[in-house]
Amino acid sequence: MNVFPQRSRRYEKWRYTVLYILIVTIFGFFLLRLFDLQILQGSAYVAQANENRTRIIRDPAIRGTIYDRNGFILAQNVASYNVVVTPGYLPRDEGDTQSIFRGLSGLIDMPVNLGDTDEETVRAFTPCLSELGISEVVFIASTNWPYQPTALKCNVPQEVAMVVMENREKWPGIDVEITPVRQYPTGELTSEIIGFLGPIPAILEDYYVERGFVAARDKVGYAGVEQSLNDILAGTNGLRRVEVNVAGEIIRNLAEPIDPIPGDDIYLTIDTRLQAIAREALIDEMAFWNNFAGRTISNNGVVIAMNPKTGEVLALVSYPNFENNRMERVIPGYYYEQLSNDPQRPLFNHAISAEHPPGSVFKMASALGVLNEGVVTPDYEIFDPGIITVMQRFYENDPGTPRQFVCWDRNGHGMVDFMWGVALSCNVYWYKVGGGYQDEVPGEGLGIWHMSEYAKALGYGTLSGIELPGEQDGLIPNPTWKRINLGENWATGDTYTAAVGQGFVLATPLQVLNSISTIANGGKLMDVTLIDRIVSKDGTLKQELTPSYRWDITKDPVINIYQGNNPTGETKAVEPWVVELANQAMRLVVTDGTASRYEIERHKALFQNDSSRSAGKTGTAEYCDDIAAAQGKCTFGAWPSHAWYVGYAPWDDAEIAVVAFVYNGSEGATLSAPVVRRVIDAYFELKAIDLENSQ
């Protein structure tokens, strides 16, 4: 002890005291902070910890299959095989991992290494699309989501997938993921009906996420029934609340998992065979006339076939359309752009969304009104000189300005009664009864208010309710509409043009078909539908077509009675004999009227064959849109026109009604009527075949 110097100096007490104060202050502060974190804010941190460890997994529901009425597949899910890697399950040994990569590399044709990764490649990483080697993908995945499978190669052939699956034991961490891809076997034949799928749009993300969809994974319908019936087809994703660790590895279920509910299968009313025939007939007819004229008359048309008794749509062709089988996996950008920029608007469903003047087909609305209101009797004959001049009046004491109205046949039809007015589609007859003419048809004739009532009774101006997105309601004008939208009073001439489906009147091809179908069906305006039945995946029938109608015009008082410009509040129905006479008149169109003539040898056999006993109405609707105006075609008496024809058969008990519309098709009788007649004839042939097969 004494070898060391004795150094006994006492250090100042206050300097120790300062340290004691420091200890109390610092640890005291820590205790306060701990109390705040653990006791006061504890529940908030517990919530955060729970959020950390909880993950919601939405197992995908299988989308329903779409069939036609005969069980023919129009949209289905097929397996797509993706080779995936879960880095967390790869062997620990670097050599083993490398040998797996080498074995896999040759099989899936993907290099083991392909340059370095930097921040940019990691940020831009998209499985299957990024140009990376296996090692790079594994590196990115293992640093970000080591326990989630990441796709190395998407859509490998089935044989490759089988080899990978056989090697599962030998290659831990490598697996095959089977994802469903929507396939459209019929492609552009039915694309305007079926539509296609696309990613959930950002603007609707909240809506879909709320309903259990996964934004980056699940797809939703973008067009056709894929869109309109998405809720039925999509099903409900499963719901699992699981506990995960920091690497994303699932530890256990936190709640009873809810299995996904698969979407229902839908059988459409479409008959794919008839659809094919309708499309072929339309394209063929247009090609023939384009070739015949030596110029492009039209590349745009519509054919719709329905059963007037039930409202079932059997075929719906909008041409041109698109190839939805090119959009099965992704929507290719260049293709979508090409479709969007096409002036014929292939993405637009012309059958239900295009509004055109219906032309002479609309005369059937006027026809019902003229007889039902007693403007003339069916036998009353009116003189058609081929051209008439009317003093156009905009108001009560307007002295008027003269305006000429012509019949399509400038020579005139002479004396014309109701039946021939329909059969010959005599414009002058309809001008006079529609808007009144001197002493022949005193007063204002049917008048615009009543005319619009009968048009609406036949379904014009309202949506048909077909299960397709984007349907338009057309336009049935009246004086109020004109004042509001054009700032002009209604003139006598406006009634004249409206009476023959020109001027302001607009309708979609589906409305035109439905209006004639209503007359063919004895006055019942059917609810148009595309759904035959809905069957759940386990086979239970969830919904079956029960034909329903909006109203029966011969029974339901759907016609408002007008006094001048004002409704009287009284209503009435259409007399059944009026509907029957309209029906007979349309039969006369086919036997002796505008649809009985064939101008060309090609149609001889078709037009002479009356085995289907059809009736119909032609329409040649003059128009002047931007395209025609740009070509300088809009000159008086020489306007371009669309070709319309609606036919149904058999005329006295119709079970098939077909409309054909050809844009700029010149004349209904020559361009559209042959299409309709071919579809009608084909319908009966198919019916015979089905009958034979079922026996």
Partner 1 sequence: MKNLRNVWQNFDFWLFGAALILSIVGIALIRSSIAGNIELEDHPQRQTTFLAISLVVLFVVAAVDYKYWITLIPPMYFVTMGFLLFVFTAEARFGAVRWLEVGQILVQPAELAKIVIILGLANLFSNFKQKSLNPSMILRSAVFVGGLLIWIFLQPNLSMTIVLLVIWFSFLWITGIKIRYILIVVAILIFVILIGALTGFAFLADYQLQRITNFLFPDPNARYGETYNVDQALITIGTGGWYGQGYNQSSQVQLRFLKVRHTDFIFSVLAAEFGFVGTVLVIALLVVIILRCFYISQNAADSFGSLIAYGFGVLIFFQSAVNIGVNLNVIPVTGLTLPFVSYGGSSLLSLMLGIGMVESVAMRSPTRA
What is the binding site for partner 1 (CB under 8 A)?
1, 3-13, 15-16, 18-20, 23, 26-27, 29-31, 33-35, 37-39, 41-42, 44-46, 48-50, 52-53, 243-247, 251
- Nearest distance from C-beta of residue 6 to partner 1, angstroms: 6
- Nearest distance from C-beta of residue 345 to partner 1, angstroms: 44
- Nearest distance from C-beta of residue 149 to partner 1, angstroms: 20
Q: b/e map of 274-295 (b: 16 or more CB within 10 Å)?
A: bbbbbbbbbbebbeebeeeeee
Is the CB of 46 or the CB of 204 nearer to partner 1?
46
Is the CB of 172 or the CB of 199 nearer to partner 1?
172
Task: Spell out the SS3 assignment of 572-610.
Answer: ECCCHHHHHHHHHHHHHHHHCCCCCCCCCHHHHHHHHCC
The DSSP symbol for 300 reads -
Is the CB of 247 or the CB of 541 nearer to partner 1?
247
Is the CB of 1 or the CB of 605 nearer to partner 1?
1
| Packing angle, helices 427-435 and 492-499, rounded to 10 | 130
Contacts of 504 (CB under 8 A, 6+ apart): 475, 477, 481, 482, 494, 497, 498
Is the CB of 15 or the CB of 295 nearer to partner 1?
15
Q: Specify the 3-state DSSP secondary structure of 656.
A: strand
Please give the single-letter amino acid code of residue 118: D
- Nearest distance from C-beta of residue 252 to partner 1, angstroms: 11
- Nearest distance from C-beta of residue 22 to partner 1, angstroms: 8
Is the CB of 37 or the CB of 79 nearer to partner 1?
37
What separation in angstroms does the CA of 303 have from each of 647, 657, 675, 676?
A: 11, 11, 8, 8
Is the CB of 3 or the CB of 605 nearer to partner 1?
3
Strand partners, 78: 181
- Nearest distance from C-beta of residue 209 to partner 1, angstroms: 19
- Nearest distance from C-beta of residue 9 to partner 1, angstroms: 4
- Nearest distance from C-beta of residue 53 to partner 1, angstroms: 5
- Nearest distance from C-beta of residue 42 to partner 1, angstroms: 5
- Nearest distance from C-beta of residue 2 to partner 1, angstroms: 10
Q: b/e map of 177-193 (b: 16 or more CB within 10 Å)?
A: eebebbbbebbbbbbbb
Is the CB of 35 or the CB of 577 nearer to partner 1?
35
- Nearest distance from C-beta of residue 8 to partner 1, angstroms: 5
Is the CB of 33 or the CB of 211 nearer to partner 1?
33
Is the CB of 23 or the CB of 486 nearer to partner 1?
23
Contacts of 360 (CB under 8 A, 6+ apart): 425, 427, 500, 501, 617, 618, 619, 620, 621, 644, 668
The three-point CA angle 441-442-443 to 5° equals 120
The three-point CA angle 574-580-586 to 5° equals 120
Is the CB of 26 or the CB of 129 nearer to partner 1?
26
Query: What is d(CA 492, CA 489) in angstroms, rounded to the nearest whole number?
Result: 10
Query: What is d(CA 42, CA 34) in angstroms, rounded to the nearest whole number?
Result: 10
Alpha helices (runs of H) in 408-537, residue ranges in sequence order? 418-423, 427-435, 448-457, 479-486, 492-499, 509-520
Please give the single-letter amino acid code of residue 264: D
Comparing C-alpha atoms, which of 487, 496, 505 is closest to residue 436? 496
- Nearest distance from C-beta of residue 248 to partner 1, angstroms: 10
DSSP run (H or E) holding 338 = helix 333-341
Report the 10 Å Cβ neighbour count for 524.
Answer: 24
**Phi, then psi, of 550 in degrees rounded to 5:** -75, -45
Is the CB of 50 or the CB of 338 nearer to partner 1?
50
5 upstream amide cis, omega within 30 of 0: no
Instruction: Classify 523 in phi/psi space as left (phi over 0), alpha (psi -120 to 50) or beta.
Output: left
- Nearest distance from C-beta of residue 477 to partner 1, angstroms: 57
Is the CB of 150 or the CB of 366 nearer to partner 1?
150
Comparing C-alpha atoms, which of 264, 268, 617 is closest to residue 421? 617
- Nearest distance from C-beta of residue 255 to partner 1, angstroms: 16
Query: Are 301 and 662 contacting, i.e. CB atoms less than 8 angstroms apart?
Result: yes
Rg (CA), the chain: 36
The tokens of 108 are what?
């899936």
Is the CB of 3 or the CB of 202 nearer to partner 1?
3
Is the CB of 53 or the CB of 168 nearer to partner 1?
53
Query: Are 237 and 218 contacting, i.e. CB atoms less than 8 angstroms apart?
Result: yes
- Nearest distance from C-beta of residue 36 to partner 1, angstroms: 9
Is the CB of 9 or the CB of 295 nearer to partner 1?
9
Report the 10 Å Cβ neighbour count for 443.
Answer: 10
- Nearest distance from C-beta of residue 11 to partner 1, angstroms: 5
